Chain A
Amino acid sequence: MRQTIVYNIFQILFVLAFAPLYSGVLSRFKELVQSKRGPSIFQPYRDLWKLFHKDQILSSETTWIFRITPYLVFIMPIFVTILIPVLTDYPLVFAFMGDMLAAGFFLGLAGFFAALAAVDTGNPYGPMGASRTRMVGFLAEPVFMIVFFTVSFVAQSTIPYIVQQKWIASPAAFFSPAHVLLLIAFLMLILAEGGRIPVDNPTGHFELAMIDESKGLEFSGRGAALMKWGGQMKFLVLACIFLNVLLAPWGLAQSRDIVHVLAAVPLILIKILLFAILLVSIESSLAKLRLFRISEFLGAAFITSVTAMIVSIFFAS
């Protein structure tokens, strides 16, 4: 029992530590693909360090929402980390506290407060970005729901650990069309929720075109650091869910030995690296969609997930 609490804390530390690294690796790869040199992969750490040592400036027009949001955005992914398999194959102590729907709700709560904070500032670009984020969010909701329902239906459970066992059972289960379709749908969802191309350009500086980035415009100092770190953790958590539950549920520690758990860390890092390569190749080959075409993109994701559900119901997977 005590061991699992330790492992849980270990998991949280893993996510805290490696989220900025993940973000750094992604931007470095993107620059490399474009034949530039790109920043060092540890640059996000330096950015966070710098931001923590700066003063925070708060506008007098803002309310408590603006002050509380960075902490929320930082803490919510940590809660999600407790629930999902990051390093280990077996459920840890808090794993049954919430299932995948709860994970979705936590992330949704953080996003909701971020949008509110953006409106709170009174800056014209904030609400614009916030409304766009909400549009993408509500279009992505049905997809989230259907993906979760299908995964739960197929695996007969909503706890991520148990779902993961199902896919790992046999090659036939892994290659079943329901599984592949869910992978495609969830990947499209990650692209939408994480604010990557083709939904949004994460490196853009043009406020009129920003969707997700605009919510971090007004923060400074510690608030900005927490927002950035929280965003990076959210993206890493989504990637962990995708990889460890759906796509590649291998490499996780299967025994309670601390050596195995430690050995799982580099394996997970390698998986995340490969996923980063996949993500960069997708991003570099597509163009950003026009705003109203995003509904078609998410509509396609919806259809894919509904098809997965139909396939799993009718073909008795």
Chain B
Amino acid sequence: MSAQMSVPEALNTLSAGLVLISAFAMVATRQVQGVVRFFIIQSLLLAASCFLLGYSQNSFHLYALGAITIVAKVIAIPWVLKRTLARELYERREIDQAFNIPASLLLALFLAIVSVLLVSPIMSITPDPVIRINLPIGLAGVLIGAFSLMARREAVPQLIGILAMENGAFFAGIAIAAELPLIAELTVAFNVILITVIIGLLARNIKETIGTTEAGALTELKEEPVSWR
């Protein structure tokens, strides 16, 4: 770390490292509630980063975004999930997943390296240390979230995967697009909540009609070879 980094920026770097760790932790957890807890931690880190960057750049938008993140992702969404989902979904202790945990962790590490490499040609454009660390880690959060989405076969972890991707996108966004008017971001947050509620309803519906949300069991719609009679 260069000595010119101010204290908020240094703390932001710290939260960036912890965001990466929480992304890994979400991939490595076996329990649904564990995934939700790590998601809450990640959202808190995102909010902390918003506040730190808002302080160092004197941007009101970032403060507001941090507050919205806390309200929406730390409080509202876990509460909504707990309410609208059936108990058996929420308290599952063994998530059905495509890879075992050490393999998933290695793949997540690989994705983190890929995102750093993807972003490296851009690093030469800007000397700003905040962007240099937020953008790769945000992109890594998006990729690792997408990976956890595809590797898990159950509804709630997939949902949390989408929300984790959103966390990653915003973590990068607050560094690169800090002057963006807040309206878009407010609507976005609201959008995410809305989608979660409805998908939560869907998941309950799915549980009632099909009996499980294990998406691996949803195999009815598939192509079979047709005979040319």
Chains A and B bind each other: yes
Contact yes or no, B18 A300, CB < 8 A: no
CB distance from B99 to the nearest CB of A (A): 12
Chain B positions 4 through 16: 1 when the CB is less than 8 Å from some CB of chain A, otherwise 0: 0101001101101
Contact yes or no, A300 B14, CB < 8 A: no
Residue tally, chain B, CB below 8 Å to A: 30
Nearest chain-A residue to B3 (Cβ)?
A170
Contact yes or no, A181 B136, CB < 8 A: no
Contact yes or no, A317 B109, CB < 8 A: no
Contact yes or no, A317 B112, CB < 8 A: no
CB distance from A180 to the nearest CB of B (A): 5
CB distance from B119 to the nearest CB of A (A): 9
Main secondary structure of the interface of B (DSSP, over half): helix
B20 at the binding interface (Cβ < 8 Å): yes
Contact yes or no, B133 A315, CB < 8 A: yes
Contact yes or no, B101 A303, CB < 8 A: no
CB < 8 Å neighbour of A177 from B20, B108, B109, B113? B20
Residue tally, chain A, CB below 8 Å to B: 24
Docked CA distance A309–B24 (Å): 15
CB distance from A200 to the nearest CB of B (A): 20
Nearest chain-A residue to B19 (Cβ)?
A177
Docked CA distance A34–B101 (Å): 32
Within 8 Å CB of B17, what residues of A?
Answer: 176-178, 180-181, 307, 311
Main secondary structure of the interface of A (DSSP, over half): helix
CB distance from B229 to the nearest CB of A (A): 52
Contact yes or no, A176 B24, CB < 8 A: no
Docked CA distance A189–B3 (Å): 31
Contact yes or no, B101 A304, CB < 8 A: no
Chain A positions 278 through 317: 1 when the CB is less than 8 Å from some CB of chain B, otherwise 0: 0000000000000000011001100110110011001101
CB < 8 Å neighbour of B112 from A170, A171, A310? A310
Known: A299-B101, A307-B21, A310-B112. A177 touches B16 (CB 8 A): yes
B125 at the binding interface (Cβ < 8 Å): no
CB distance from B21 to the nearest CB of A (A): 7
Contact yes or no, A175 B28, CB < 8 A: no
CB distance from A179 to the nearest CB of B (A): 8
Contact yes or no, B116 A310, CB < 8 A: yes
Docked CA distance A172–B1 (Å): 6
Nearest chain-A residue to B18 (Cβ)?
A180
Known: A175-B10, A184-B21. A300 touches B105 (CB 8 A): yes
Within 8 Å CB of A170, what residues of B?
Answer: 1, 3
CB distance from B189 to the nearest CB of A (A): 26
Among A181, A296, A304, A315, the most chain B Cβ lie within 10 Å of the Cβ of A315
CB distance from B71 to the nearest CB of A (A): 27
Chain A positions 160 through 186: 1 when the CB is less than 8 Å from some CB of chain B, otherwise 0: 000000000011110111101100100
Interface CB pairs A-B, < 8 A, 21: A170-B3, A172-B10, A175-B11, A176-B13, A176-B17, A177-B13, A177-B16, A177-B20, A181-B17, A181-B21, A184-B21, A300-B24, A300-B25, A300-B28, A303-B105, A303-B109, A307-B17, A307-B20, A307-B21, A307-B109, A310-B109
